[in-house]
Amino acid sequence: MPEAIVALGEGKRIVGRLRFESDGRRQHSQFEYAEEWLAADDRFALSPGLPLREGSHFSSGKDDKRSALPGCFSDAAPDSWGRALMTKALGGGLSEFDYLVLSDDRTRQGALRFLGEDMEPLSDLTPPIPRLVELERLRTLAQRFERDPGGAEEEARDLAGVAGSLGGARPKANVEGDGHLWIAKFTSAQDTKPVERAEVATLKLARMCGLRVADARLELRDSDSPIALIRRFDRRGDTRIPYISARTALDWQSEDGGFYTDIADVIRQISSKPVEDLHELWRRIVFTILVSNKDDHLKNHGFIYAGGDRWRLCPAFDINPSPSRHRVLETGIIQGGAFEASLEIALEACEFFDLKQEKASLITRDMATTLSGNWRGAMREEGMTGNEVRLYEDAFEHSESARALGV
């Protein structure tokens, strides 16, 4: 039975042990907190689904093998892009445990580390973390792998180490620059719109609307394939900050989308500043509707550890405007409601987020006014042509944005 010592941070502080077993179709894991962690004054649960107690926490996965690991460990493992690279670089037949422990330890999301008995990382992929000056080389590697995933073995190995545990299906890598760790998001071969320019512009618009967002900027902006750089918020210098997704915080097992009111309930339970986080979450719902963000699933919301067994809603990230006549959300606003991108529903639900109706209406109108007056300029500032800006009109100018200006 493969196993790993689970530790936190650069100091490799032991918090428990993870064991894994596979019997063909089904994979199982068990995690047990270390006695010294349970006895520590500054102990905290790695997630609400792993409460502090003696004994084993069990997880199993059959059809959805990723449920073979507790959510906080799944958050620390690679997603579609990273898995494709690891499968090509290391060969097929990788288990969930392999994907978790063999991905690069240095750039792993959050603060969890997976060590052998010698207290060294089990990771098999440890190339040097690239610098910003290597972005063009990384972009070329990503393009080659996208064009020929069946044959680009050398490219896959080079990229697998620097992709680490990054989520999502789009090509990306970790890079270092200006004293920080960044996510470099590459233009995909399948793109029909300037996705990276739009993401950077939209994150800047979110900040203009008063949201807490990840720092973002565009590199190689004069090329046909610019790169979006998103600063990692789970790092402060060399310090690793624990992170869990909203999916993990909710202990959500279903493949169906969750609900923002459920995230609000979790905020009340675990946040060090629940009112601030509730207001912030509601603002993000409204912003998501106004910019037609269709990437607001539970893995794209999360929490960073704030100390004292408390968490904070992490900065907003992965906000991607999507022009479409069919405007729906990945995460529903209210339990039992539809997944419609509706300001009416958001305003009706505002008191679930500790907001009065009058204040919620003012926030909505202010956001809509800010976006109406700035979205085109923000897109142009990131290098879009007039025709490219027009591709995004339906994302920013629609019935809900018009309604918001009049609430």
The structural domains of the chain, ordered by start, are 3-115 (no CATH), 132-231 (3.30.200.120), 239-405 (1.10.1070.20)
Cα distance between residue 324 and residue 248, in whole Å: 30
The confidence band for 65, taking pLDDT boundaries of 50, 70 and 90, is low
Structure tokens given for 278: 């509730």
Residue 167: per-residue pLDDT: 74
pTM to 2 decimals? 0.94
Residue 66: per-residue pLDDT: 61
pLDDT digits (tens, 9 = 90+) for 196-245: 999 999 999 999 999 999 999 999 999 999 999 999 999 999 999 999 99
pLDDT at 261 over 80: yes
Question: Does 383 or 62 have the greater pLDDT score?
Answer: 383
Residue 93: per-residue pLDDT: 84
* Overall average pLDDT of the 256-260 stretch: 89
pLDDT at 62 over 60: no
Residue 27: per-residue pLDDT: 87
Residue 11: per-residue pLDDT: 97
* Overall average pLDDT of the 104-125 stretch: 93
pLDDT at 60 over 60: yes
pLDDT digits (tens, 9 = 90+) for 334-366: 988 889 999 999 999 999 999 999 999 999 999
> Is-contact 202 291, C-beta < 8 A?
yes
Residue 382: per-residue pLDDT: 98
Q: Mean pLDDT across the chain, nearest whole number?
A: 93
pLDDT at 320 over 60: yes
Residue 371: per-residue pLDDT: 99
pLDDT at 282 over 90: yes
pLDDT at 266 over 90: yes
Residue 64: per-residue pLDDT: 54
Residue 190: per-residue pLDDT: 87
Question: CA distances (Å), 113 to each of 45, 72, 263, 296, 388, in order?
Answer: 15, 12, 26, 27, 43
Q: Could you give the strand order of the β-sheet that contains 180-186, starting from the edge strand earlier in sequence? A: 172-177, 180-186, 227-231, 216-219
Query: By C-alpha distance, which of 189, 197, 182, 273 is closest to 235?
Result: 182
Average the pLDDT over each of 107-116, 125-134, 183-192, 201-210 and give the range with the smallest value: 125-134
Where does 53-93 have alpha helices with state H? 71-75, 80-90
The confidence band for 122, taking pLDDT boundaries of 50, 70 and 90, is very high
Query: By C-alpha distance, which of 80, 101, 82 is closest to 160?
Result: 82
Cβ-based neighbours of 295, under 8 Å, separated by 6 or more:
318, 319, 320, 322, 330
Question: CA distances (Å), 164 to each of 105, 116, 184, 272, 372, in order?
Answer: 7, 18, 12, 29, 38
pLDDT at 21 over 80: yes
Residue 63: per-residue pLDDT: 52
% of the chain residues with pLDDT over 70:
98
Query: By C-alpha distance, which of 28, 34, 72 is closest to 54?
Result: 34
Residue 257: per-residue pLDDT: 84
